Structure 1
């Protein structure tokens, strides 16, 4: 497959102690806090483990979230706020604005920030698999499933979680709607790239491939437009990626639309469509150069040297030459001055986000356990006042590019 995707860095977080001495009045309550701390550490470790797969990630996610929900879900049979929700402070960085730290004393803030990182992990997992030269059918399915899962988690955060925060997200930060929308749309578009690759491999008809490519190009354009009002100092590089992918898939769409026209004996229009494909491909090449030169968070890469990119350029040239030969020997049709309008709608292969659901509340969280936390006492000063932990950036694996890939995946 050897596909390449831009990736922003993972969010980093300070350790959360859950040391509620004085509040946790029984051994069982103290153990629940200790287990939550351990489950959080385990999940954070998996984000940078290159051997982690989707099953391991889900197990770790369910283990931590099922415990954390004990600080969020109402457990006393009333509609009142969980008394433990605001007892622990959480710190998280942002994927776009570097090591700038946001802090909220709110368990829901940790829940949504961790969900965000889980979604990012799924995009990075997909990227690692898609960057291989020889991707099996099962691996391609994993790439597709991982990207749909990421889109679903980002959508769940936007639709169900952000509104529950006491402190609204700051503009341009990860939990702000424009950023979440961009991540959702990008994940859908990249999943459709996998669909297109599969359709080409199985030699599906050119009309279907052109329509899928056109829909994918539109996804990338929509994602780019979503970021237009963000500060260019941290959004410019990401936008260059979205723009080059938009141009790249417009080139795909015009190329395969040209083949459809040729099959309908419209050789002159086919030539014009292929010429338009060349134009968008050239624009994508220029944007690749701009992407490399633009500073900002994300992947360091040379996408124009990537195998899947160069193969399309050669395919467009060869198809155009074929159309021109056919026109010179058989059709003798005039080439229209204007490119054909692409009014293509894909009937198959369009990607929707995979619905994400939180796990059930952990069985350990009984009414008796909840009652064993006494927040009226407050944490004992002599034990609760520990050194405030700093946020250390995630050390993500430095993966070497595959043969002929010409890029580094963060």
Structure 2
């Protein structure tokens, strides 16, 4: 497939010991704290493990989330606040603002931030698979599914958990609506790229490919509009990506729409459609160069060197030449001055997020265990002495070597 996707860095977090000595007054309560510490550490390890699979990530995240939910949800399933929710402080960076961390003493903030990273991991896993030259059908399905799973996680956090935060979300941060919407829509767009590649490979009706490409271009345009109001310092590279992908899929749409017009004996309009495709492809090429020069968080790559990018350029050129030959020999139709209207609506292949739910609370949590946390006592390590500020180190992400035709340096 040799597809290429822009990826922002994973969120980084300060260590959390869950050493609630004094508060955790029973052996069972101490065991919960120990398990929280170990399952959290396991998740953080997997984020940077190139051998990690979706099954491994789900198993590890379910183990941690099911325990953490005992700090958030009421044991009886009611709406009453859990007394343990605000007992531990958590610190996380954002995907756009480098090592500038936000801190909240709220287990809900931890749940959201860790799940956000899980969604990002799914997008990076998909990116690594999609960048292969010899991708199998099963791997392509995994790319497609991973993007939909990621979109579902982002959507669930936005709708069901971020509104529960006591501390208002800061503007331009990961959990702000504009940022999370951009991630959701981009996941949908990238999953549709896999659908388009499949439709092209199986030689489906050009009208279907054109409609899917047009919808995908519109998705990227929506991401671009969503990012426009954010600080340019942080999103310039991301915006450059959305613009080049929008132009690329408009080129795709006009190319395949031209094939549909030619099949309907509208050769003059087909030529004009291919000329428009050529124009958008040229814009995408220019934006590829701009992307490579733009500083900011995210993948370092040369998208114009990707095989899937170059193949479209050749196809546009060859199809336009074919239409011009046919018009010179058979149709003798006038080429319109304006590009043909593309009121295309895909009836198949459109991507929706996979619904996501957190796991059930761990069976380790019982009323007796919860009562083992005595909030009248301060944790022994929370002394009057000022603490040294916890350092938040960036996540060491896998260094993925580029495929022969990918031009991608980091996934």
State the TM-score, normalized to the length of structure 1: 0.98
Shift of 1:263: 0.3
**1:227 match:** 227
Look up the SS of the partner of 1:326 in the other structure.
Answer: helix
Q: For residues 129-278 of structure 1, what are the structure 2 equivalents within 5 Å?
A: 129-278=129-278
Shift of 1:409: 3.0
Question: Any conservation in 1 of the 2:213–2:249 contact (CA below 8 Å)?
Answer: yes
**2:8 match:** 8
C-alpha offsets along residues 9-57 of structure 1, whole Å, 9 cap, x if unaligned? Answer: 0000011111111111111110110001100000011001000011000
Look up the SS of the partner of 1:227 in the other structure.
Answer: helix
**CA–CA distance in structure 2, aligned partners of residues 339 and 139 of structure 1:** 38
C-alpha offsets along residues 172-215 of structure 1, whole Å, 9 cap, x if unaligned? Answer: 00000000000000000000000000000111000000000000
State the TM-score, normalized to the length of structure 2: 0.98
**CA–CA distance in structure 2, aligned partners of residues 356 and 71 of structure 1:** 20
User: 1:328 and 1:159, CA in 2 relative to 1: closer, same or farther beyond 3 A?
Assistant: same
Shift of 1:362: 0.2
**2:398 match:** 397
User: 1:366 and 1:261, CA in 2 relative to 1: closer, same or farther beyond 3 A?
Assistant: same
**1:95 match:** 95
Question: Any conservation in 2 of the 1:127–1:409 contact (CA below 8 Å)?
Answer: no
Question: Any conservation in 2 of the 1:251–1:279 contact (CA below 8 Å)?
Answer: yes
Q: For residues 372-383 of structure 1, what are the structure 2 equivalents within 5 Å?
A: 372-381=372-381
**CA–CA distance in structure 2, aligned partners of residues 46 and 384 of structure 1:** 36
Look up the SS of the partner of 2:212 in the other structure.
Answer: helix
Tell me, yes or no, if structure 1 residue 282 matches structure 2 residue 282.
Answer: yes
Question: Any conservation in 1 of the 2:19–2:381 contact (CA below 8 Å)?
Answer: no
**CA–CA distance in structure 1, aligned partners of residues 47 and 129 of structure 2:** 15
Tell me, yes or no, if structure 1 residue 26 matches structure 2 residue 34.
Answer: no
**2:116 match:** 116
**CA–CA distance in structure 2, aligned partners of residues 368 and 389 of structure 1:** 33
Structure 2 gaps of 5+ residues are none
C-alpha offsets along residues 98-125 of structure 1, whole Å, 9 cap, x if unaligned? Answer: 1101000000000000010000000000
C-alpha offsets along residues 233-263 of structure 1, whole Å, 9 cap, x if unaligned? Answer: 0111100000000000000000000000000
Structure 1 gaps of 5+ residues are none
Question: Any conservation in 2 of the 1:19–1:384 contact (CA below 8 Å)?
Answer: no
> Would you say how many aligned residue pairs link Structure 1 and Structure 2?
410
Shift of 1:406: 1.1
Structure 1 runs of 4+ aligned residues shifted over 6 Å read: 382-386
Look up the SS of the partner of 1:379 in the other structure.
Answer: coil
**CA–CA distance in structure 2, aligned partners of residues 16 and 198 of structure 1:** 44
Q: For residues 36-55 of structure 1, what are the structure 2 equivalents within 5 Å?
A: 36-55=36-55
Tell me, yes or no, if structure 1 residue 407 matches structure 2 residue 408.
Answer: yes
**1:86 match:** 86
